[in-house]
Amino acid sequence: MLEFELPTPYSLPMQTLRSAPVLLLLYSCVLLLTCCAIFTPNQLSAATPKTHIVTLGPLRRVPYTQPDATPDSRADETSTLKVRALLVDEHQKEWTTGDLHEITDRTFTVRRALRLNDALPTDPAAHWIWQPGPWLLVDRVTGHIATLHLPDFDPAVSDAVWFRDYAAYCGTATTAKGGLYAIVAQLGAHRPIVQKQIGNWPQPNHFIPVCQPARWQRLPIRVTLQPTAGEPLTFDVVGSASLIEEADNEDN
């Protein structure tokens, strides 16, 4: 009978390991596996900010007539309206009209174009018409679109001309007395910077357009507003760029 002598543990070859680097490597592996187990692939991708693509589509002409225009005052330039689609990630969000105005390197304003049902209750079918609407504030980064509620802005009368974050236009008061006003509004401000009555409103047989486009001056900042066939009025604009929120929001 053969007998074998097993080597003792002390006779096995020993390896010298550096404990600190090994423990650090093991800890990193455990941490990585834990993160992968907690967060799903969708959650991991959601943590990365999404980049949006905001564009304007090609121009198209649609029928348009000034709401209170008379047959004698209807000219070729008021018989059609140029509109473009506002696209976010190739999905249409709004119809717009006119040129956009860059406020900052990531936000711009553009006027909305509306399709309204002009049918009377007695009409057998819907009658869709195009009208210029309010102004929109668009954020290129988040893709967020907000409607601007400019003071005394009347879509049928007001033609806002922008400089920086200021808009100058003629507006109409919604009070019982009414009135035609020279308005300078600033984004982020609660009240208009300029609000001066320059005429009565409503006016029968008024000019179209009611006011000429505002004229801006940079230094010092001044703006001139003039009712059509009226006297021009110049206003000094005192202030600095208002605080415009450009933070990310839920519309990612």
pLDDT attached to residue 79 = 80
Distance CA(138)–CA(143), nearest Å, equals 7
pLDDT attached to residue 10 = 47
Residue 77 pLDDT level (bands cut at 50, 70, 90): very low
pLDDT(12) > 90: no
pLDDT attached to residue 65 = 78
Domain residue limits, the chain: 50-148, 150-242
Identify whether the C-beta of residue 33 lies closer than 8 Å to the C-beta of residue 26: no
Identify whether the C-beta of residue 181 lies closer than 8 Å to the C-beta of residue 197: yes
Beta strand 194-199 with 211-217: parallel, antiparallel or unpaired? unpaired
Whether the predicted model's global pTM rises above the 0.85 cut: no
pLDDT(59) > 60: yes
Over residues 81-107, mean pLDDT: 95
